[in-house]
Structure 1
């Protein structure tokens, strides 16, 4: 679901108010930074950072919800169905490196710092590109 311009209106207004208040506190030499934050570029940067952060936080939650848990694959879950289909397709076992084994590993141990950084960067970049394409 894409966020409409109307839904972002209050956030943009709050960002504008905050940067205006910051402009009164900071010295005049900081005026360029304040005006950049209030521009559409600043809004896109903020949106990209939020998108990347949400992706990093939501991956473990979503994996747990579909059944890839720290205690193993939950019975009768989507993860169990995926594991069953993978095992049937591979002669009874789930191969190392398969999608199911990777998702279970992440579900059990969480994302590594480097994976979090990569995921956050990719999603932030994608969010900025979508915001640009949508004219936000």
Structure 2
């Protein structure tokens, strides 16, 4: 792997881990609960309808709200960082192939 791809992977990993809490908050998954009128509230409403009125423990909505309220655990940060690294490396390789 060339150095530019490694740099792209590193930048992608760092940026996604750093941005994830802000993205969760912007989507409406906050420390005070799900924000009214947000993307999170729409997801919660759809999940509740699909589950007969409740939100299933361990569901995507429940997991995102837990991360929004308590922060992203280390394992979650590793997953987010890995996804960011893959995207960063792919973007770097794509930009290198156009030169």
Q: Fold-level match, TM-score > 0.5?
A: yes
Change (3 A) 1:88 1:60: same
Shift of 1:118: 2.9
User: Helix, strand or coil: the match of 2:7?
Assistant: helix
* 2:13 paired residue number: 52
TM-score under structure 2 length normalisation? 0.85
The structure showing larger relative contact order (alpha-carbon pairs under 8 Å, at least 6 residues apart) is 2
**Corresponding residue SS for 1:96:** coil
Q: Which has the larger radius of gyration?
A: 1
Report the TM-score when normalising by structure 1: 0.64
> Take 1:88 and 1:125, find their aligned partners in 2: how far apart are those partners?
35
Calculate the aligned-residue CA RMSD, in Å: 1.8
1:95 matched residue in structure 2: 56
CA shift, 1:130, in A, is 3.8
Q: CA–CA distance in 2 between the matches of 1:114 and 1:77?
A: 26
Q: Would the aligned equivalents of 2:13 and 2:83 in 1 still touch at CA under 8 Å?
A: yes
Q: Distance in 2 between matches of 1:113 and 1:65?
A: 21
Residue 33 of structure 1: aligned partner: none
1:109 maps to: 70
Runs of 5+ unmatched residues, structure 1: 1-39
1:127 deviates by 2.2
* Unaligned stretches of 5+ residues in structure 2: none
Runs of 4+ aligned residues of structure 1 deviating over 6 Å after TM superposition are none
